[in-house]
A and B are shown apart, each in its own frame.
Chain A
């Protein structure tokens, strides 16, 4: 599902214009990006949480040349799936998922 397809479904389900649905999806994703960019975390019950994980610097190797390269420390966005979401995805064959 792409953003455009999601906007169509959202517009249809709650009876708004597709453009407004797309705006809402953008506000949703931008809110999460901005929260993590300022070091905050985002917790959405039943869905999951987004937080920043720190990756330490390391000595890597160029897989092609075998040359050593320094990989600096960096931050990466991380999503931890919430219990409800995890169970919906894992137990879909047991009749637990909604259509």
Chain B
């Protein structure tokens, strides 16, 4: 079978897959894997660094375990096996007038992965994280067998599993609350802004009227243009003022067919891309668009991670608490711009204050920045400088994107890690967990 890697293809730790088709295979599979001591569930491998990589390099893949177990179309509640992709879920629920309450920037993730990383989306300021909408889940633990958890049933295990990086047991199925929609279209407003202060003002203004807000920032420009970008705000369109119809997305689709020996992401291609992107949005513009390009613009290019060549890439995603956000985000952007290492457009988003049930959930009230960097020693040096700034501001990094954070920074940013470690299934261990608990 083909070996697996994480999305950033760094660190280079090829994973041997063992496929789960049905829950009753787990116990024999774990026994069979006993020789490797530990393992980890692996969904679509869309986390960037090493949270999805088993310390033993032997993973249990869940994507073939993707059946819907129950649906209540009147209340918008669905329970499905953990390997169901968000893409499949969307196709199943949208025709019935429902939509996931929270979706991240790609639909190529599994429900299990969404829970394990407690993913967030452009509507964090309204709906919180994915975990806020999980009504219950089933775990398999090597020491206890099958366990049903919910906010009321084994709540300590439930909370540790939301954002628990897949370490509290194999997540077998998940029940979530959906949100009602009347159209599969999004009404989007795009506004170009020239400074970082404008971003914060736009974000504050639109977050009261729009469910979805996000901004893309050009991280290559320095000096006066620092922090220029495009702000997007969106709402689900109202299907009642038109024929109630679910449309087909545009079928325009690209694919990166192979991994080039060297990264195609370089200073020339980036400057051109970022400048063109900025110039495209000269005037504020409101339009109705299909939900696919609004939520998942990068899903239109399959295997875009291959653009970074064999060395792979890392994403830096941090959150800065609200009271320091303006100053620290500016300082971080300056540091990145001066390093000339930044990549495609950076994503900037203001999180709300809705708490997640998850013990190790990443989001907090403040502003998050996410940006890709080609893997290399300069990138690592830059990350060390950024880490100090994030740390001093009381912020933290997102484990789902991480391949570098130090155990000191992790343990200070996520003090509940000791609780998770105490509840960890002894046969589950990732490279990430080994690294940050060392």
A and B form one complex? no
Residues of A within 8 A of B (CB): none
Residues of B within 8 A of A (CB): none
